[in-house]
Chain A
Amino acid sequence: MGSGGSRAAQIPDADRIRRETGFSQATLLRLYHRFRALDSNKKGYLSRVDLQQIGALAVNPLGDRIIDSFFPDGSLRVEFVDFARVLAHFRPIDDDTGTRDPKEPEPPNSRMNKLRFAFQLYDLDRDGKISRHEMLQVLRLMVGVQVTEEQLESITDRTVQEADEDGDGAVSFMEFSKSLEKMDIEQKMSIRILK
């Protein structure tokens, strides 16, 4: 009796999103519920203001950069599809890398894609390189007014020098991932979702 049915049917493009992101049905439902809770005026999409209202995000020194990652190319709205896609980067890595078909595109939560996401937080102008100036900007965000300009510049110079291999004064994505090759990215850039 009754014609209701569960709310999963109400998520637009549920199957497509599930295939692209690799989230389970239950997780997708939870994320959709979260999406709607953040959507303050029930517009059906998220704007910058909705994300800025999250108190704990506003005290994160990189809060604005993180919000920017949801609005690529100057767009003003985040639909649920895009929301899920960005969050998919933080899914724990699957154990099936051995059996995956190499011709298919990498899933969003692969090591390479997680690194790429972090790289883009640094690389504001999306030119594929972290210039000295961009590095300085991110550092300034993380320390606020606590560190002087000279100290920050010397830190930046040293970091760029260490990572830069081809001597162009900037850190490319290859150099970035090389300097982090021993890092356990999988664990540090993953969020475990409770079942």
Chain B
Amino acid sequence: MALPGPSTMFLLLPFDSLIVNLLGISLTVLFTLLLVFIIVPAIFGVSFGIRKLYMKTLLKIFAWATLRMERGAKERNHQLYKPYTNGIIAKDPTSLEEEIKEIRRSGSSKALDNTPEFELSDIFYFCRKGMETIMDDEVTKRFSAEELESWNLLSRTNYNFQYISLRLTILWGLGVLIRIALAFTGISLLVVGTTVVGYLPNGRFKEFLSKHVHLMCYRICVRALTAIITYHDRKNRPRNGGICVANHTSPIDVIILASDGYYAMVGQVHGGLMGVIQRAMVKACPHVWFERSEVKDRHLVAKRLTEHVQDKSKLPILIFPEGTCINNTSVMMFKKGSFEIGATVYPVAIKYDPQFGDAFWNSSKYGMVTYLLRMMTSWAIVCSVWYLPPMTREADEDAVQFANRVKSAIARQGGLVDLLWDGGLKREKVKDAFKEEQQKLYSKMIVGNHEDRSRS
């Protein structure tokens, strides 16, 4: 007699109701767990410490995996690709003048005091410098995802990926499903909540509710991303009438900061899902959204921001002055617009731990939704947030100097490299002013001498 196959099992009544019951029970358990462990703490802002435990376990797993990979590579005598954060070539930090003088000295048999105007060998300096930048340059490095020296089980951050085990993959898959469910909850609650609050008449009750709805939804999103955030110096948190300035690595920065404080946001009006969220949020609380065309008009932007800031009852503004996402190893030039307004600036440094997942958003490579999915399929997002003491513009410095001062403070605190290059380099070619500087330096060497000679 043939054994009943799975299809026939479902026709047998006692099994049928059993499965339905099991399904019902497991769903209820799941929802209760969600409620108790995630939503309720989100409302009150407490944490069970589950995520910290998760983080410790992950670290142990990563160490084990890296060892395993190295052993495997040694057995097969293969070369493991080991990235170096300090760059591929040895660079000598000498200036243009010094190097060219050295080149001339080593090749010329003429007396040293009679320095010639131009030598055929001068070209070597520019040629070598050019080749060095082709092999390795500071800026392109900043814009690709940071390379890791140990491995974190995500194939996309390491070239030596090998498949490790089935159990880990299942665990990872479960995590992704839970996160997607949470993200969905968080976003829909935000949209619905803020719309509902928007219908209330203006007043203290509305503000109170709005603040808590915002905070709750951001905290749910934080848990959806499994973000483990450590806040330092919370006594320096931004206050009303100020501007909060932070370095920018990804759109998640907004969620991270907004889950710990109530801010007015500034940004471009987007289409799609972001647009829906933006429109709902502005009903409950006065955020400042700009149309694309308005963004180009700097005076208009400055005017609106100034109006907002001068109203002391209004919330602190959250601004990312770099203008674009950088890969979290450095801080690029800050645009001076937000520093001209004259309000108190509260700098914030955000540093992600790259071991757990690469948070950098390369906007030329991924769209927003792809990026968020990548974030949710990483193991976790671990970052530290430092609230720095407030700064104001001194009488004798202009907006650019003030911006640089704030930038250095943020870079120093977060352990990020302070670079002078413009963040816009990612999409535009660089300005000719820098090239002119080099040409000026070199011309002085060949023509400056000529003038001395003609006088004698």
Contact = CB atoms under 8 A, between A and B. Distances in A.
Nearest to B124: A188
A147 B76 CA distance: 61
A174 interface: no
B126 A60 contact: yes
B435 A144 contact: yes
A146 B443 contact: yes
Contact of B160 (A4, A117, A118): A4
A144 B434 CA distance: 12
Given A55-B430, A121-B127, A151 B450 contact: yes
B446 interface: yes
Residue from the set A2, A52, A142, A159 with the largest chain B CB neighbour count within 10 Å: A142
A40 B162 CA distance: 26
Nearest to A8: B79
B128 A90 contact: yes
A4 B130 contact: no
B88 A143 contact: no
A9 B174 CA distance: 34
A4 B439 CA distance: 49
Interface string B105-128: 011110000000111111111111
Contacts of B76: 5
A183 B90 contact: no
Nearest to A52: B429
Interface in A109-149: 117-118, 121-122, 138-139, 142-147
Nearest to B165: A1
A189 B439 contact: no
Nearest to A193: B89
B140 A191 contact: no
Given A2-B164, A189-B128, A59 B121 contact: no
Given A87-B134, A155-B446, A56 B139 contact: yes
Given A142-B439, A194-B86, A57 B133 contact: yes
Given A51-B134, A54-B133, A90-B131, A182 B434 contact: no
Interface in A134-183: 138-139, 142-147, 151, 155, 158-159, 163, 171, 176, 179-180, 182-183
Contact of B120 (A6, A90, A180, A188): A180
Interface string B427-441: 001100011111110
Given A6-B73, A63-B130, A138-B123, A146 B439 contact: yes
B161 interface: yes
B443 A62 contact: no
Interface in B46-95: 72-73, 76, 78-81, 83-84, 86-90
B429 A53 contact: yes
B290 interface: no
Nearest to B106: A184
B106 A54 contact: no
A6 B103 contact: no
Q: How many interface residues does chain A have, given as a range?
A: 35 or more
A121 B90 contact: no
Interface size range of chain B in the complex? 35 or more
Contacts of B135: 31, 34, 87, 191, 193
Contact of B127 (A29, A144, A189): A189
Contacts of A151: 447, 450
B78 A8 contact: yes
B199 interface: no
Nearest to A31: B135
Most chain B CB within 10 A, of A26, A56, A122, A189, is at A56
B137 A55 contact: yes
Contacts of A171: 120
A61 B425 CA distance: 18
Contact of A122 (B84, B123, B144): B123
A179 to B, nearest CB: 6
A51 B140 CA distance: 11
B129 interface: yes
Interface in A37-95: 37-38, 40, 51-63, 66, 87, 90
A192 B90 contact: yes
Contacts of B436: 144-145
B126 A182 contact: no
Nearest to B447: A147
Contacts of B90: 192-194
A167 B198 CA distance: 88
B140 A38 contact: yes
Interface of B: 72-73, 76, 78-81, 83-84, 86-90, 103, 106-109, 117-141, 144, 159-164, 364, 421, 425, 429-430, 434-440, 442-444, 446-447, 450
Interface of A: 1-8, 25-26, 29-31, 33-34, 37-38, 40, 51-63, 66, 87, 90, 117-118, 121-122, 138-139, 142-147, 151, 155, 158-159, 163, 171, 176, 179-180, 182-185, 187-194
10 contacts: A3-B163, A29-B81, A31-B135, A55-B425, A59-B430, A59-B434, A60-B129, A61-B438, A151-B447, A190-B128
